[in-house]
Amino acid sequence: MEHLAKIISELRATLPKRNDYARRTVELLATQGKTYSKQQVYNIMTGRYHNADVAEAFISVVETEKKRVAALEARATKVTAA
């Protein structure tokens, strides 16, 4: 589990300083019927506590965001090339 915390910490370091990943992680967990506060999620994201459900949800949120940004960049490139 500590290895997972290290991966989350490294992943978090690649994100913008001000973001809403904790909130989006809480929302994703809520859709799965799991209740966590933003503070609990943040504590897990910073490595204070370990929880596989939160780690999985956080990674899913980041993956989704990276795909969205990549698609947006591709669209912007296409539009500027036209």
- First-to-last alpha carbon distance for the chain, in angstroms, is 48
pLDDT tens per residue, range 58-76: 999 999 988 998 999 999 9
pLDDT of residue 17: 83
pLDDT tens per residue, range 33-47: 999 999 999 998 888
Tokens encoding 81? 């090339």
pLDDT tens per residue, range 1-20: 677 778 888 888 888 888 89
pLDDT of residue 32: 96
**21 pLDDT more than 80:** yes
Q: Kindly give, in sequence order, each residue whose CB lies less than 8 Å from that of residue 38, ignoring residues fewer than 6 positions away.
A: 22, 23, 26
What mean pLDDT is predicted for residues 23-52? 93
pLDDT of residue 1: 65
